Structure 1
């Protein structure tokens, strides 16, 4: 119950972080779009597309937070935890299509057709980008603060929703910086190639971030194993049980942010009756759940190894055989 309570508390904090990012991106998207049209700035319009993509992604992440906490039912006996990974994958696709591709389009169009900007247009665009930098920076600080409070170092980014917000805000701060540099160089030199290059660089950055986020979400969707530390602790616990002769197989899979399925096939020492076998299995399951809090689905395939097989096994001449 304590784990569930702490998970819900962490979800509430993540929801606030996503809402802060959504509010910032909506305001900034409108400001960038108006400023980009007024200034005829390809870099500013690319950043507007970036903010629109981020706003839509925040909606996806809010859906992920809500839908992934639904209780298990007959159609989904293991719960809906993987919804978190699915919506995070959609957010990555949104960054790629709406942000990256539009930024490439703006950069190429600027190189082909050029762009004429007035002095007032430059000033308006730089002011908009300056405000955007402050807003995006504040949102990023909020997200990083939650990461620090929620986990040890990068472990706090195991939540795909929080990881996506940090990636979006970090990319937004860098993108705004690139747009400001491109616009300033365009104003000084009169060469649109600087803004076009900034737009293309922003596009490349967004495509890279979308690829990284999408790859992580894909791995989790198709059945990623629990982290090596948790798997190692489970195997060590099984090996330490005096009733277990050998651990034939151990499988783990993440079913959600704080849900792990554990399936193990073990051979027991010979001579135990069915009642004893059941007691041992129950005790081992409880020990695994106590060792790895996320292990809420535990399955044991228990077999009682024949005594003749144990005598013939090389291990029978060792310490256990002597016992």
Structure 2
């Protein structure tokens, strides 16, 4: 949880600073792709606030209304972030970019002076801001990537694609995806502005804005899909469930595992229920075996937090 929080805080600081710089550059230049990046960074900054709220909400202790805790709150807020990323940043960027393609206009060309320094061509300002944004995003992306790589190593996943399919830490996943998109978006805007300046044709800047919008909407849909699986109560991977089943069968007091079910109840938190046939024993010994199984399952996978063993006749 601490890793997820630090990743989100790093992204919040980076995106907040970048949003201010991009808006300043847009006011000076009127660049369509820069406006798309303003929408993008404002959306990202708001999204980090939602993610932090989700982390704090999920830390609440279990109670009568939520006996398994509030861990799924992070799934909900991450899903909400994907909707906002699609609806605000993606759609507004695409709409504005399309408008600029249909009605191209030349960005501001008058030199500007900043804090008594200059004058500079306006596109210089955009380039400097975007290079600074790329630097900030590299920092935030590195934090998110380090946390995701740690989880990949811990769980023995093959790489990023498998982590996307199997991780339950949707907060880190969302921050990682947002930072990757932000890097790609800033790069597209930079390319569009430079091509427009080199050719004198504003279509490149406008097309860059459209590409940023499409990129945002595509990744937003992918994030929504990944969050849906956890909101609906996804189980552990089949191979992991087989290992848990083997852990139960390894106990001398167990005759058979008649059924085993798992479900994520929060990021890195799993509920395990098992129907178990025991070797003939008295009640006191049965209690001891169940306690051993509880400890063994939690030791076998650190994500297992709650265990229910149902003795079968």
Which of the five TM-score ranges fits, normalised by the shorter chain? Answer: 0.7 to 0.9
Q: Give the equivalent residue in structure 1 for 2:62.
A: 72
Q: Equivalences for 1:1-323 in 2 at 5 Å?
A: 11-119=1-109, 120-149=121-150, 152=153, 154=160, 158-269=168-279, 271-304=280-313
Alpha-carbon distance between aligned partners in 1 of 2:71 and 2:137, rounded to the nearest angstrom? 29
For 1:81-119, what per-residue CA distance to the aligned partner results, in whole angstroms no more than 9, with x for missing partners?
111111111111121111110111111110122121244
Q: How many aligned residue pairs are there?
A: 293
What TM-score, normalized by structure 2, do the two folds share? 0.86
Larger displacement relative to structure 2 (53-62 or 273-282): 273-282
- Assess if the C-alpha contact under 8 Å between 1:32 and 1:128 holds in 2: yes
Worse overlay, 112-121 or 144-153: 144-153
Shift of 1:141: 2.2
Q: Is the 8 Å Cα contact of residues 41 and 115 (structure 1) preserved in structure 2?
A: no
CA distance in 1, matches of 2:177, 2:35: 20
CA shift digits 1:43-66 (9 cap, x unpaired): 000011000010001001111221
SS at match of 1:254: strand
Secondary structure (helix, strand or coil) at the match of 1:169 reads helix
Q: Deviations over 1:122-157 (max 9, x none)?
A: 222222212212222222223323444565165696
Give me the TM-score of the superposition, normalised by structure 1. Answer: 0.84
From the superposition, tell whether residues 150 and 289 of structure 1 become closer, same or farther in structure 2 (CA, over 3 Å): closer
Unaligned runs of 5+ in 1: 1-10, 305-323
RMSD over aligned CA atoms reads: 2.1
CA distance in 2 between counterparts of 1:268 and 1:146 reads: 41
The superposition leaves residues 67-92 of structure 1 with CA deviations (integer Å, 9 ceiling, x where unpaired) of 11111111111011111111111111
Bigger relative contact order (CA 8 A; separation at least 6): 2
Deviation, 1:235, is: 0.7
Please report how far the alpha carbon of residue 13 of structure 1 lies from its aligned counterpart in structure 2 after TM superposition. 4.0
Between the aligned partners of 2:22 and 2:307, the Cα distance in structure 1 is 51
SS at 1:79 equivalent: coil
Alpha carbons of structure 1 residues 292 and 140: separation in structure 2 relative to 1, 3 Å: closer
Q: Is the 8 A contact 2:168 2:266 kept in 1?
A: no
